[in-house]
Amino acid sequence: MPTIEPPALSPTLALAFELIRRPSVTPDDLGCQDLMIERLEALGFRIERLPFGDVENFWATRGHHGPLLAFAGHTDVVPSGPHTHWDFPPFEPCIDESGMLRGRGAADMKGSLAAMVIAVERFVTAHPDHHGRIGFLITSDEEGPAIDGTRAVVEHLRETHDRLDYCIVGEPSSTDRLGDVIKNGRRGSLGGVLRVRGIQGHVAYPHLARNPVHQALPALDALAREHWDAGNAFFPATSFQISNIRSGTGATNVIPGDVEVVFNLRFSTEVTHEQLMQRTEALLDAHGLDYHLDWTLNGEPFLTAEGELVEAAVSGVEDALGHRPALSTAGGTSDGRFIATLGSQVVELGPSNATIHQVNERVRATDLDDLSRVYQAILARLFVNGTARP
C-alpha cells in the first residue's frame, strides 16, 4: 500500500511521529517524556519528575494563581504483536494514501499528547500572562498494572496539597467523528476471584465426591440474574459478567475438587462497592457453598455532571469543529478514576477509538490538528473568556 509523505508535517503531526517512533510498551517510556518536558520547559513550566518503581512519570505546572487545568495522559502503549501482521511497521509512523496516520499509539494516546503540547504552546505564545495555571500529568503505566503511574502521582499531589481543579484526559473518546463524544464519567470496576471447594472423586462414584461445578452453577446463575440497581440519568444499570471459569484435571473421568470463577461488576453511582461485596457474599452464603472470595477494586465510579470544565469542553468542540458533542460514561476505566478522587472536574476528550489496541492502529491525520485546536479553544474558554472560577 503506497504512503503519502507530506513535504512538511504540521507541528502536531511532527511531534506525534517522534512519539510513535519510540516503542514505549508498558512500562517503558523510552524518551517520550523527555521530548515533552523539553518543550514544556521552554514555555516556563516547572517540571517534577516522579519515578515510582519501573515507571516514569512527571508533573508540570505553569502559572502561580487561579484554578489549575491539567492535561493527563500516558506515553506507554500496548504490545504490537508480530510486526508481520501490520500493513506498516507499528513503530515507523506514516500517513497512508487515505490520510490516516498509522502506528502503535496513534490513537491511544500519543496523538493526543502531541495535540496537547502544541495547543499549550500556541496558547501560551498568544497569552503569556494568562489567567490560571496549566498542568501536565503524564505516566508510562496506564496500559499495565496502573499502580506506579497516575495513581501514585495523585497520592503525591494529595500529600503535597497541590490543587487540581480541572483535568482533560486525552483518551480516545470519539466514535464516528472527532469530538462527537466527551466522556464525563466512568463506571466503577470491582473484580472478584471465587474459588468453590468440593471433593474430588471418580465420575462413576459421585456419592463419594462433591462436584463444586454443580454446586456453583445455581449461585452463578443467581448472580447473573441479580438486579443490582436501575442505573440513573448518567449511568446504565450495574452489570455482572463472568470472564473465566477454570476447573478439572484434564481427565474425563475425574470430578474436580474445586472451581475458580473470575468475574467483574461494572457499577454506577447508585451502589457502593461495599454493598456489592456484601450482596454477592450473602447470595453465595444462601447457596451453602464452601468458598473463598478475593476482591479487587479497580476503580470507583466518577462523574462530572456539570461545571466549568464540561461547559468549556462542549463549547471548545463547538468553537473548533462546529458541532456539539454528546456526553457519555460508556466504556471501560481510565486514569480519570484516580484523578477524580482529588475532587477535580474530569473529562476525557480525544480522537477516534475505532482501532485502539488493534493491529494497524490508525487515526485520521487531520483529526490531530483539529484536536489541538479543540484543546486550545478549551484553554481560551477557561482562562481568557473567564469561564474558570477561582
Q: What is the CATH number of the domain that holds 235?
A: 3.30.70.360
The C-alpha atoms of residue 303 and residue 372 are separated, in whole angstroms, by 24
pLDDT band at residue 386 under the 50/70/90 scheme = low
Write out pLDDT tens, residues 315-349: 999 999 999 999 999 888 889 999 999 999 999 99
Burial class (CB in 10 A: 0-12, 13-18, 19+), 248: middle
Report yes or no on 241 lying in a domain.
yes
The predicted structure's pLDDT at residue 161: 86
In this structure, the answer to whether residues 194 and 257 fall within a common structural domain is yes
Question: Per the annotation, where are the binding residues for Zn(2+)?
Answer: 74, 108, 143, 171, 357
Same domain, 30 and 154: yes
- Would residue 389 count as lying in a domain? no
Provide DSSP, 201-243: EETT-GGG-B-HHHHHHHHHHHHHH-------SSSPPPEEEEE
Give domain status of residue 5, yes or no. no
In a domain, 16, yes or no: yes
Q: How confident is residue 239, by pLDDT bands cut at 50, 70 and 90? A: very high
The reply to whether 96 belongs to the active site is no
Query: Is residue 3 in some structural domain?
Result: no
Provide the domain limits for residue 30: 11-186+301-384
From 29, 142, 361, 367, the catalytic residue: 142
**143 and 232, same structural domain?**
no
Mean pLDDT of 85-105: 95
Which residues participate in the annotated binding site?
A: 74, 108, 143, 171, 357
249 and 361 housed in the same domain: no
In the three-class reduction of DSSP (H, G, I as helix; E, B as strand; rest coil), residue 126 is classed as: helix
Query: What is the C-alpha to C-alpha distance for residues 257 and 231, in angstroms, rounded to an integer?
Result: 38
- 8-state DSSP, 341: G
Across 93-116, average pLDDT: 96
Assess whether 76 carries a catalytic annotation: yes
* Tally of domains within the chain: 2
Q: Are residues 226 and 97 part of one domain? A: no
Give the sign of the dihedral formed by CA 264, CA 153, CA 74, CA 336: positive
Query: Is-contact 268 231, C-beta < 8 A?
Result: yes
From 29, 76, 141, 258, active-site residue: 76
Residues 196 and 334 in one domain: no
Strands 3-4 and 94-96: antiparallel
pLDDT higher than threshold 70 for residue 143: yes
- Classify residue 4: in a domain, yes or no: no
Residues 224 and 291 both lie in one domain: yes
**Residues 202 and 273 reside in one and the same domain:** yes
CA distance linking residue 289 with residue 281, whole number of Å: 10
The burial of 21, by beta-carbon neighbours within 10 Å (0-12 exposed, 13-18 middle, 19 or more buried), is given as middle
Q: Does 263 lie in the same domain as 211?
A: yes
- Taking the complete model, does pTM exceed 0.95, yes or no? no
